[in-house]
Copies of this chain bind each other. A is one copy, B any other.
Amino acid sequence: MEQKTLPHGLAASRPGGPGGSPGEHGAGTGLLFLREEQMRLAQDLFFFAYRDLTASADAILSELGLGRAHHRALHFVGRRPGIAVSELLALLRITKQSLARVLGELVERGYVLQARGPRDRRQRLLSLTESGRILERRLFERQRERMVSAYRDAGGTAVDGFRRVMRGVMDDETRRLLEPQEMLPPVLRRTAG
């Protein structure tokens, strides 16, 4: 009875039709595509896409007795070889203790290397070992396939839009961290000009 004519469903009708071609953000169209249902849909998209993307590497991880936290650490160390522990903490936004467990295992298993910082010997600069690079690549490959086909199917314009929206959703702080300049260690930030 109460669900005879279900007025809902996760991807309910798109009011105003911005699913098609909203025509920029002209004054005439108003803010149709900002309407509530659009935002609810965006929540769904985030949840499902992120879940499925991350899940795609799980098979390999559980094979090795590793978790997603290990993958994240591996990813960012691979992304930024020579990163200091404190910088990695700032990227991941977890506590030192949470990272320590994960990082400790990665070092112990020979995936990550710690090197004393040449300028600041308190630092432990992190990088991937050869087997770390191989593992990271295996994990990446699964996600890469998904993203490549998504990008290909959506087309270049869509990819650009995707990136703009993703950046827009982030904290200002996070967006700053994504800028190359900010990603360099402080030492280089002064030198590289």
Number of copies: 2
User: Which residue from B161, B184, B192 sits with its C-beta under 8 Å from A160?
Assistant: B161
User: Which residue from B6, B23, B43, B45 sits with its C-beta under 8 Å from A82?
Assistant: B6
User: Is A146 engaged at the interface, CB distance under 8 Å to the other chain?
Assistant: yes
Chain A contact patch, size range: 35 or more
User: Which residue from B2, B153, B160, B192 sits with its C-beta under 8 Å from A4?
Assistant: B192
B24 contacts A157, C-beta separation under 8 Å? yes
Residues of A1-34 contacting chain B, CB below 8 A = 1-4, 6, 8-13, 18-25, 29, 31, 33-34
5 pairs of residues in contact across A and B, judged by CB atoms under 8 Å: A4-B180, A6-B188, A10-B76, A42-B147, A43-B147
